[in-house]
Each structure stands twice: as C-alpha cells, then as structure tokens.
C-alpha cells in the first residue's frame, strides 16, 4: 500500500550537503538525522523535507523502551491490560517495568528519553530554519509559514507530552531563539511537568492550523488534532472544565463521526477514515519501511501467523472485563464478574471447551484466543501458537497485526513490521472523554447517551465469524461453521433509567470501563488509572489475581507515591547536572 504522505525521510538535495548523524548522549541539543545546512534548508523544499523528518520520529526508534507511537510498554504492559509475554529471560528490562522496579540504569529509560528529545530537537530545527527563512530575502509564503510553525509546535508539544507521561518532571526544550542568549538547552531544569509549554504550543497550533490536513496530505496535524491533544492534556491534569470546551468544539464541528464497523479502526484498507482525528502514518515498499516497529514483536511466534516474537499478551483480567449480562450490559464491578474458562496449561491436542458466556464482540477483535479465528489466518490452536504460555498466559493481541487478506500489502522484507497506521486520537476518544466531563458536571443522562454512541456502533459492527466445534487440535480437519459467530456475543446500549447511570459513582465506573473496552491494548490504560487516582487499588488487586500467569510477578507491589512515574535515565543525569532525579529513585 502506498501512502500519499510517506514518513520516510527523503530529502531531494545535493548529497554533499547532507550531514551524517553521529550517535551521542546529548539528545537535547544534537543535530537531527538527515539535517542539511544553511540556505538549502531555508528553501521551501528543504523546510518541507525537514518537517517530514520531524513527523517520522513520531514512531520512535526503540520498539520496547521507547514505545513512542503506541505506549504499549508503559501504558498497557505496566497496566492490568497486558503482560510482557514471550519467554523467561527475554527483555528483562521489560520485566522491571512490569514489576515497577525499573532503575535509572534501565536501558528502557534511556530509550524513551532519547526518542522524546530526538523528536523535540528535530522540531526545533524546523522552527529555527523557518524563522531564518522568513527573515531572509526569499521568505516562503506567509500562510504556509504559519501552518508549518503550527505543525512543528504541535509535534514539539507531542514529544514533550510523551516525556512527561513517563518522567513527570521534564525540561521543556525551546529553540535558542526563544531562549535568548542567556540560556542554552542543556541548562534547562526539569522543575515542572511542562504543561504550560505544552498547552502554549498546542494553542498556537489551534490558532494557526487549518481544519483539514495541510497540503491535503493524510497524517498531517489539523486544528482539531491540536484540540484533541490539548483536551487530553487538561484531562491528565484533572482540568475537566478546560477540556470540555475543546471537546465540544470537536464534536460540534461535524468533521468527525464513528465509522460503522469497529474493526475499521484497525484495518489497513480503511485508514484515515471519518473517525480518525490524528493518525500516525506507516508505509512500506520493496526497499524501505516506516512501520511502527511493533508487529514483529507482538505477533504469534507459531502457527500460520507465527511471524513474530510472542510479546504483548492480553491479561485474563482484560478478557474477563468483556463479559456482559443477559441484557448485553457490562459488569462494572470486578468482584461481580465470573471466572471465564481459558486454556492455560492445556495442550492444543487436549480437550478444551471455550467459554460460552455472553461477551462484548470487541473481545475477539482485541484478543487472540483458542478456538477463535485469528483475523483470517486460521483458528487459533492455543498453547501450540504461544511462545511460552506459562510466562505470559494463553492469549495474544490482534490490534497490531494485519488481516490475512491484507498481508500482501506489507511488501517490505518479510512483512513482519507491517505498514499499519496507528489511530492515536479517534472520535471515540473525544466522546468518552466528554462523557467523563458530563459525569463530573452531574449530567448523568448526557454521559449515558455519549457512551451509547459507542455501544450502538459496537452493536451494529461486524463480529468475528466461524463457530468451531473441534475441541482438541490434532492432525485432521478443524470443523468450522463460517456462517455462525465465533462466540456468544451480545452488546446493548444502556437504557433510560439504567442503574449504571443512577449515581455519579456508578456512572463514572461505566464510562471508565467503556474506555477500557474500546481502547484495550492501545497504550492508554496505565495513564488512565493514574489520572483517575485508582491505580493503587486496581494494580495491586491485578497483581495478586493474575500472578498465576506471570510467576515472576510474585512479591511485586505497586506503590502509587513511588511507582506512578519512571526514573530519569542515569546516562542523561551524567551529562546534565541541572537535571534532578525523581526523589523516589
């Protein structure tokens, strides 16, 4: 698949003008990869190329410790949504993140810092060359210059937002022009979370970006992209009133709508659709790739779809959250959910009957499990498809893998790192954040109706098909009725007068659970638990209940006053005396 807006950096400039990037630890001030000098980069072509180079860093370099595009390591792997998975001893740094024991020397901390500030450095380069161009004898067109500044400042805010999610107190790196002569970037302390600067950059983007994608390129940020990110920044600070107006502006714009089919938000052939507010682009060709460098890690290791390493396994806790009542409504309290059958410790050749409990159909677009089709690759046979079941449980993810029918679109190399986009901000995010605000305002029925937009979409969406009657996978044919749903699915909207919306305490649980079901395994869960202030209770209960699937978690404890953020990397502290480590470390 060819993207109109491919984020692989291609600068069609004279080769002698290219400066090769030499690796070093000074991520705050380094020259970005592929930077060219002087008047060449002040030309319209040079500036556009450098801006695209900034977009290219949205995905980051490190698939594990950086996890930039998707936050899968910190947002999901460190939450009750998923486990590291794979095998014992593989990526031990990830185990430390899961156990909330990552130290400043953990390479993941370095990788995240590097990816965040590499992106920030690139965007500052764009701004410096842009301002120099506008003061030269050959400025670029004023309207496009403002758009480019808006795009660059959006991206700068994005990279710092990604940093403050993990490290809390961060240095916000501005250009030398903005700092003035008396300050240099490496002297900027990390004495705030960076929210004021993040909001200021995003507000500039809101004020100067168009409502539709600049230059008509999918993937470029718009006014509404900036509004969505700024709304989330306010949600993270519990400033719901300030988020409210931004969310209402997005909703009332009429620019976005829920797509009719839930899985269209994960399908390669339905990217950049009506629900997408900001979508991180990926593409590959026969010779290069700008993938999210995630699919290779999180795909099945065995079976027909066995092209990966077996990381990122959904939890039993998450699986059981998808159960519904006879009325097709979620079970809000974890204590009220019944245990659901799984094939943990059951050989694929042994008899196993998957649960027939009523389930929200999103479960089988999210989780790969025994007896259910794996998005066209065949019926998952359970243990034989899992790298080490006793280290990560019986499930695998689906959201970052390609449909079998789309696999041929991944033409780079062996296709393991696919060309799937990541919908970072969707209209469904906006609706459910607005439902949170409605509950806080006492507008419980408004919150119910907003949640019901999501649930109505699920009700009308396609479900996974293929009812399997085979219970033991040995040599021979698997019996599948492809005319029947794969499991016992049911989902209904909350009716008027529903008990779940009879009080604010119940309503907020309904809204939060809907967010979990809608965005499961998409890198948001840990950060949501933290901002809601329920991280302590939820995560410690999860550790205790799910330790049977991850023996290495024995003895782990989550302390909300010490483990809610990760430490600054030791390598950065060594070269920047001004930085102060989190006192917890």
Question: One digit per residue, pLDDT tens: the chain, 585 residues?
Answer: 334 333 333 332 333 233 333 334 454 555 455 445 566 778 889 999 999 999 999 989 899 999 999 999 999 999 999 999 999 999 999 999 999 999 999 999 999 999 999 999 999 999 999 999 999 999 999 999 999 999 999 999 999 999 999 999 999 999 999 999 888 888 999 999 999 999 999 999 999 999 999 999 999 999 999 999 999 999 999 999 999 999 999 999 999 999 999 999 999 999 999 999 999 998 755 555 566 778 889 999 999 988 889 999 999 999 999 999 999 999 999 999 999 999 999 999 999 999 999 999 999 999 999 999 999 999 999 999 999 999 999 999 999 998 988 776 765 555 567 788 999 999 999 999 999 999 999 999 999 999 999 999 999 999 999 999 999 999 889 999 999 999 999 999 999 999 999 999 999 999 999 999 999 999 999 999 999 999 999 999 999 998 888 888 999 999 999 999 999 999 999 999 999 999 999
What is the predicted pLDDT for the residue at 7? 34
Helix locations, 461-533, DSSP H = 504-519, 525-532
Q: How far is CA 492 from the centre of its chain?
A: 27
Residue 312 shares a structural domain with residue 242: no
CA distance 224 to 495: 31
Residue 227 shares a structural domain with residue 353: no
What is the predicted pLDDT for the residue at 28? 52
Give the tokens for residue 223. 């006014």
Residue 509 shares a structural domain with residue 409: yes
**304: in domain:** yes
Determine the Cα angle at 411 with ends 405 and 413, to 5°: 125
SS3 (DSSP) at 39: helix
What is the predicted pLDDT for the residue at 185? 87
Residue 240 shares a structural domain with residue 343: no
Q: Which residues pair with 396 in a beta bridge?
A: 368
Are 27 and 574 within 8 A, CB to CB?
A: no
H, E, C per residue of 275-340: CEEEEECCCECCCCECCCCCHHHHCCCCCCCCCCCCEEEECHHHHHHCEECCCCCECCCHHHCCCC
> Residue 131 burial (CB < 10 Å; 0-12/13-18/19+)?
middle
Domain of 511, CATH number, reads 1.25.40.390
Residue 182 shares a structural domain with residue 299: no
What DSSP string runs through 520-537? TTSS-HHHHHHHHT-HHH
pTM higher than 0.85: yes
Give the tokens for residue 172. 């916000």
SS3 (DSSP) at 19: coil
Instruction: Look at the chain and report how many structural domains it folds into.
Output: 2
**179: in domain:** yes
What is the span of the domain harbouring residue 487? 295-523
**262: in domain:** no
Give the tokens for residue 408. 């041929």
End-to-end Cα distance, the chain? 46
Residue 312 shares a structural domain with residue 202: no
Residue 213 shares a structural domain with residue 312: no
**29: in domain:** yes
Residue 232 shares a structural domain with residue 315: no
**299: in domain:** yes
**291-302: string of b/e by CB count within 10 Å (b at 16+)?**
bbbbbbbbbbbb
SS3 (DSSP) at 513: helix
How far apart, in Å, are the Cα atoms of 86 and each of 57, 309, 314, 396, 551?
Answer: 27, 7, 12, 10, 13
**180: in domain:** yes
Residue 180 shares a structural domain with residue 300: no
Q: Where are the beta strands (DSSP E) in 216-328?
A: 276-280, 311-314
Give the tokens for residue 73. 């390591």
H or E element: which one contains 121?
Answer: helix 107-134
Token match 């961060």: residue?
Answer: 170
DSSP structural state of residue 357: S
Strands 367-368 and 396-397: antiparallel
> Residue 551 burial (CB < 10 Å; 0-12/13-18/19+)?
exposed
**176: in domain:** yes
**397: in domain:** yes
Reference 162, options 75, 32, 240; nearest CA is: 75
Residue 334 shares a structural domain with residue 233: no
Reference 455, options 502, 515, 506, 496; nearest CA is: 515
Are 295 and 400 within 8 A, CB to CB?
A: yes
Residue 411 shares a structural domain with residue 514: yes
Number of continuous H segments (helices) and E segments (strands) in the chain: 19, 8
What is the predicted pLDDT for the residue at 287? 53
Residue 37 shares a structural domain with residue 183: yes
């Amino acid at each position: 698949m060819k993207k109109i807006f491919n984020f692989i950096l291609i600068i069609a400039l004279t080769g002698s003008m290219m400066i090769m990037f030499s690796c070093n630890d000074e991520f705050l001030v380094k020259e970005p990869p592929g930077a060219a000098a002087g008047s060449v980069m002040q030309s319209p072509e040079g500036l556009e190329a450098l801006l695209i180079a900034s977009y290219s860093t949205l995905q980051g370099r490190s698939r594990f410790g950086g996890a930039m595009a998707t936050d899968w390591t910190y947002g999901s792997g460190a939450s009750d949504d998923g486990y590291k998975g794979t095998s014992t001893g593989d990526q031990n740094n990830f185990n430390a993140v899961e156990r909330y024991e990552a130290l400043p020397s953990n390479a993941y901390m370095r990788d995240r810092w590097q990816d965040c500030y590499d992106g920030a450095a690139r965007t500052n380069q764009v701004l410096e060359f842009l301002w120099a161009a506008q003061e030269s004898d050959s400025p670029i067109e004023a309207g496009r210059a403002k758009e480019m500044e808006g795009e660059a400042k959006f991206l700068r805010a994005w990279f710092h937002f990604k940093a403050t999610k993990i490290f809390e107190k961060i240095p916000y790196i501005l250009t030398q022009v903005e700092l003035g002569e008396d300050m240099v970037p490496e002297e900027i302390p990390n004495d705030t979370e960076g929210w004021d600067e993040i909001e200021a950059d995003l507000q500039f983007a809101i004020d100067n970006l168009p409502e539709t994608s600049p230059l008509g390129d999918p993937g470029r940020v718009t006014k509404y992209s900036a509004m969505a990110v700024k709304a989330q920044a306010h949600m993270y600070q519990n400033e719901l009133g300030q988020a409210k107006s931004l969310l209402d502006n997005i909703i009332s714009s009429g620019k976005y709508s829920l797509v009719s089919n839930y899985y269209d938000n994960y399908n390669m052939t339905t990217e950049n659709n009506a629900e997408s507010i900001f979508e991180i682009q990926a593409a590959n060709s026969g010779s290069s790739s700008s993938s999210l460098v995630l699919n290779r890690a999180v795909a099945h290791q065995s079976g027909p779809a066995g092209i990966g390493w077996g990381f990122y396994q959904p939890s039993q806790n998450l699986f059981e959250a998808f159960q519904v009542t006879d009325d097709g409504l979620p079970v809000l309290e974890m204590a009220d959910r019944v245990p659901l059958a799984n094939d943990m410790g059951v050989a694929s050749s042994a008899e196993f009957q998957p649960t027939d409990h009523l389930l929200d159909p999103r479960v089988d677009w999210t989780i790969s499990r025994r007896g259910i089709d794996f998005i066209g690759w065949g019926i998952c046979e359970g243990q034989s498809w899992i790298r080490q079941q006793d280290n990560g449980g019986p499930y695998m993810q689906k959201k970052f893998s390609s449909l079998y029918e789309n696999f041929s679109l991944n033409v780079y190399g062996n296709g393991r790192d696919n060309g799937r986009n990541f919908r970072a901000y969707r209209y469904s995010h906006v609706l459910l954040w607005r439902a949170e605000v409605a509950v806080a305002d006492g507008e419980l029925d408004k919150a119910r109706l907003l949640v019901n937009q999501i649930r109505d979409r699920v009700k009308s969406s396609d479900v996974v098909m293929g009812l399997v009657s085979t219970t033991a996978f040995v040599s021979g044919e698997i019996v599948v009725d492809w005319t029947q749903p794969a499991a016992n699915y049911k989902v209904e909207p909350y009716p008027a007068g529903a008990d779940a919306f009879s009080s604010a305490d119940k309503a907020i649980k309904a809204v939060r659970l809907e967010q979990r079901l809608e965005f499961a395994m998409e890198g948001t869960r840990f950060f949501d638990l933290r901002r809601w202030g329920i991280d302590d209770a939820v995560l410690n209960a999860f550790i205790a209940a799910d330790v049977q699937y991850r023996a290495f978690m024995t003895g782990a404890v989550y302390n909300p006053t010490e483990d809610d953020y990760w430490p600054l990397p030791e390598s950065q502290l060594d070269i920047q005396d001004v930085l102060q480590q989190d006192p917890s470390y």
